[in-house]
Amino acid sequence: MNIVLLGAPGAGKGTQAQRLVADFGLAHISTGDLLRAAVKAQSPLGVEAKKYMDAGQLVPDQLVIDLVKERLGADDAQKGFILDGFPRNTAQAVTLDSELSQMGLSLDAALLVSVKPEVIIERLSSRRTCRSCGYTAPAGTDTCPNCGGEMYQRDDDKPETIKNRLDVYENQTSPLIEYYKGHGILKEVDGDRDVTAVYADVKKLLSL
């Protein structure tokens, strides 16, 4: 099962991805994590990406695609994968389809976790993230339940920043919904509910 995850920041994509990974052994491929890991490892792609990141520029599509392709070759991705954070626009989606095709792969579903903007602002502004492992939990959690690290509020989880992130998402990423709808693989789930109820629907939609 090869899936692209869609949804605004804070829609709960990561939570659903974690459950799918735990239950079905899919590889969770977050392009943000890939970029950070490549930069830290100082791999050739990481060194190249760092130049753009240090200059405050977007990392070029082809570089991200190359990182994704490298990751798809890993053993744990052979059972299937969940792409999170990529593609971000239709140009990237077209390139991804072409590259997957060359690898003898294709997408089975584009899963859209749909949540109202006002719910997302409330949800993200009350979210805390672990400095050590990236685990997220509600406000009031001072110590990470996962690794014991310090929990903090990310700058991009502050209300004024969230509004901007949602505007960017709407402009850049929402056309992807039409793209995958046109390909007949879009599956939409209402993410504005209890996590377990959402996950039950996700499994139904994906026939898992």
Q: Is 147 marked within a binding site?
A: yes
Q: Is 182 marked within a binding site?
A: no
Q: Is 57 marked within a binding site?
A: yes
Length of the chain: 208
Single out the catalytic residue among 19, 50, 69, 165.
165
- Say if strands 127-130 and 151-152 run parallel, antiparallel, or are unpaired: antiparallel
Question: Which among 123, 88, 160 is positioned nearest to 11, based on CA atoms?
Answer: 123
What does 114-161 look like in DSSP terms, one character per residue? E--HHHHHHHHHTEEEETTT--EEETT--B-TTT--BEE--GGGSHHH
Single out the catalytic residue among 13, 123, 128, 187.
13
Single out the catalytic residue among 123, 127, 128, 187.
127
Whether residue 13 lies in the annotated active site: yes
Q: Is 12 marked within a binding site?
A: yes
Whether residue 131 lies in the annotated active site: no
- Give me 105's structure tokens: 């792969």
Single out the catalytic residue among 51, 88, 123, 187.
88
Query: Residue 154 — φ and ψ, nearest 5°?
Result: -65, 150
Whether residue 128 lies in the annotated active site: no
Whether residue 123 lies in the annotated active site: no
As annotated, the active-site residues are 13, 88, 127, 154, 165
- Binding-site residues, please? 10-15, 31, 36, 57-59, 85-88, 92, 127, 130, 133, 144, 147, 154, 165, 193
Q: Which amino acids are annotated as binding site for Zn(2+), given as ranges? A: 130, 133, 144, 147
Q: Pick out the residues of the known binding site for AMP.
A: 31, 36, 57-59, 85-88, 92, 154, 165
